[in-house]
Amino acid sequence: MDIGASSYRRYLDGDDTGLVEIIKENKDGLTLYINGYVNDIFVAEDLMEETFFKLATKRPRFFGRSSFKTWLYAIARNVAIDYLRRNSKATSDSIDEYGNTPVEELNVEKGYLVEEQKIILHRTMKRLKSEYFQVLYLVYFEDFTNDEAATIMKRSKRQIENLIYRAKKTLKSELEKEGFEYEEL
């Protein structure tokens, strides 16, 4: 049984601890996922909060066509895309043109990604194309299946498989440039 779905049902039935459980379970991963879109950890935190605010106030229906986590990440993706659309009028920068990772973001990532290899891997992933980062993060850090990643990213399963292949190949090349070899690639 999907724990997030049961917590959400409890929340909809009036038990606020259900929403608290959902937030505790998903806030860090959701923040890093959103950060892959906006490349600003502080904005990503705000958008993560906005995602949970939508869940709390609009109370969208969860039909169970996917796992609750997949559904939640799809909502977060839409929040991030809405933010980028709103702010694209203010700036002509694309997602890939944003600057390097701020020092404060590295501190957050170090707290979340404890092992040194994962930190190096994550930094290298941030330099990849946005869609490569997204698919690798969803599949390898959040343990989504290819079908779930396809649902979140609004792609076909075949497109996700191709993206994963190209993303892993590019990531391996980038890691080798730094003299780092990651055995699981």
Average pLDDT over the chain, rounded to whole?
A: 81
d(C-alpha 181, C-alpha 53), whole Å: 41
Arithmetic mean of pLDDT, 122-132: 85
Q: Is the pLDDT of residue 72 over 70?
A: yes
Band the pLDDT of 91: cuts 50, 70, 90.
low
Arithmetic mean of pLDDT, 156-166: 94
d(C-alpha 123, C-alpha 114), whole Å: 13
Band the pLDDT of 119: cuts 50, 70, 90.
low
Percent of the chain with pLDDT over 90: 41
Weakest-pLDDT range from 3-12, 53-62, 109-118: 109-118
3-state secondary structure of 66: coil
Arithmetic mean of pLDDT, 10-25: 91
User: What tens digit of pLDDT does each residue of 21-40 get?
Assistant: 999 999 999 999 999 889 89
Query: What CATH number matches the domain at 117-185, 1.10.10.60, 1.10.10.10, 3.30.70.260, 3.30.1370.10?
Result: 1.10.10.10
Arithmetic mean of pLDDT, 102-113: 48
Band the pLDDT of 172: cuts 50, 70, 90.
confident
Domain boundaries, the chain: 1-112, 117-185
Q: Is the pLDDT of residue 127 over 90?
A: no
CA–CA distance from 146 to each of 22, 137, 171 (Å)? 23, 12, 18
| 93-99 contacts, C-beta under 8 A, 24 or more apart | 95/37, 95/38, 95/39, 95/130, 96/129, 96/130, 98/39, 98/40, 99/39
Arithmetic mean of pLDDT, 67-78: 91
Between residues 93 and 35, the one the model is more confident about: 35
Enter the CATH code of domain 1-112. 1.10.1740.10
What's the pLDDT score for residue 113? 41
Between residues 89 and 123, the one the model is more confident about: 123
What's the pLDDT score for residue 154? 92
